[in-house]
Chains A and B, each alone.
Chain A
Amino acid sequence: MTALELDGVHTYYGESHILQGLSLSVEAGEIVALVGRNGVGKTTTLRTALGLTPPREGTVRFDGTDVTGMEPHEIAARGMGWVPEERRVFSHLTVAENLRVAAHSAADPDARIAEAYELFPALDRFADKEAGDLSGGQQQMLAIARGMVGDNDLLLVDEPSEGLAPQIVEDVVEALRAASADTTMVLVEQNFRLAMDLADRFYLVDHGVVVEEGETAGVTSDDERIRRYLTA
């Protein structure tokens, strides 16, 4: 079953034409990576899917339902979660409150939060600490956990490794693997190796359209069809 489908999507920021007829589909249960240079429209693709930057043309379908033009909270309520770039947590809420706010749509919020603590023991230790006081890696864990606790069927993860130390990145990768066990995932990631390592399939985006796609197995950044779109 197709979890997410973008068909001929055109998205603008003011007069800037960012997505220029982008199409992609994500099957339930898989991890799909969006790769490409900075500024080609990867984050905008996630924002378009979630309704934060609605498309002017094209359609977005989520679990078979046309969600084009729906409000973000309506789309989120249908089970689409977001782990935003730069580890943006609600910094003046405690860790527990961050999770509680995100778990409001879950059938059993307490159970989901307990699962998140089990997966991320550090968060349990700092449950009463304000999220803004956590380290970068801990904030990223919290952002991922927040995306998980809402009973989401699909998680949009934006640049999870950005600005993190290599050791912390490994922990984040493990967390994402754990999160993907029961959630479909769309991953935007600058680190090509990491993206290929995590994802089942990839879409290579350039100038607001998909220029390459395929299985990730065996793909490296030295591949000529990839390299010319990743280098400036």
Chain B
Amino acid sequence: MLPLIGLLMGIALGLILKIPIPPSYAKYMGVAILAALDSAFGGIRATMEKKFDDKLFITGFFSNTILAALIVYLGDRLGVEPLYYAAIVAFGVRLFQNIAAIRRHIFKSRHWE
């Protein structure tokens, strides 16, 4: 419940604040959001597995986000733009894994298996 309230608050804040992001940074931002989502789902999964640690969660959230953006930036600088895809694939795969794990936990906890 709380995460949902937080998300809605964030969306409302974003709509009100209208933070301007330069279009040239949109690429980094996109990957960073992917990483953030990955962290969030990772947190949900950890909660379900009863090993959620808020310190781990928050450091993971920020480090993943910043790292993702950094990898894309590095790829741009080095002329290896496909590095962008590496970041997307890495975080995308983790996102899918987390969601799959969450699904499995829900199944297990409700004895649907």
Q: Do they bind each other?
A: no
**A-side interface residues toward B, CB under 8 Å?**
none
User: Which B residues form the contact surface with A (CB < 8 A)?
Assistant: none
